Structure 1
């Protein structure tokens, strides 16, 4: 018996994460065609371009001219992207103090300790 069901449709966030993962695995700037092939070729080229353009609008990727096309690179690592999302949410709220207070009180003790150390010493994660 043949299974004629359609493949599971992936969400936008999942596709963006897969495209970013492909860019991180590249040795340097790559074309959308390279991304499409690296992801197994099951996405349409136009879908890959759409995802890359959305990521560019979010500041998650950069691009440079490569002939008549563009070469794409990730703009930040996973930690940088997560921090950007957190800042975007915070910037969208009128009561920043309430949002930050709610965030901090929801942290587990180890994360709270780490955050305190970062704030006290002004260090990046590589220094803690």
Structure 2
């Protein structure tokens, strides 16, 4: 999986930040304070994300409302997994990743692993 392009990432971020599905006009409006974009540009990129399977859409009146298929965390996790697979050395890649973590990130990783192991034990 390839990461999102800059505008794709901005659109996905806007949708992830919302608690409910949004129309293209709402996404376009959310992006306006940071960047001036034509509505049709946002419409095209949202449609491309839908066609790529990153968004679901439901008709709402005359417009569609869009929502992400995966969470931001799931997307990030898949990018990390793909990076490990690309190197051909997943263990080495993980060691390199862990070496770069801050103390807070290391603590978060330990907590995530403990939570995962506990969930596995409870299954």
- Checking the alignment, whether the CA contact within 8 Å between 2:24 and 2:65 is kept in structure 1 is yes
CA distance in 1, matches of 2:18, 2:104: 34
Where relative contact order (Cα < 8 A, 6+ residues apart) is larger, the structure is 2
Q: Please state if 1:23 is matched with 2:8.
A: no
How many equivalent pairs are there? 111
Structure 1 runs not aligned, ≥5 long? 1-11
- Checking the alignment, whether the CA contact within 8 Å between 2:16 and 2:72 is kept in structure 1 is no
**Deviation string, structure 1 residues 34-58 (Cα, Å, up to 9, x no partner):** 3223433932233113332454437
TM-score, normalised relative to structure 2: 0.60
**How far 1:72 moved relative to its partner?**
0.7
Structure 2 runs not aligned, ≥5 long? none
Give the aligned CA root-mean-square deviation in angstroms. 3.3
Given the alignment, which residue of 64, 75, 81 partners 1:81?
Answer: 75
Given the alignment, which residue of 57, 64, 67 partners 1:70?
Answer: 64
- Greater Rg by CA: 1
Where is the helix percentage greater, Structure 1 or Structure 2?
Answer: 2
CA distance in 1, matches of 2:94, 2:16: 31
TM-score, normalised relative to structure 1: 0.59
Of 19-28 and 84-93, deviating more is: 19-28
CA distance in 2, matches of 1:80, 1:87: 10
Given the alignment, which residue of 28, 34, 39 partners 2:26?
Answer: 34
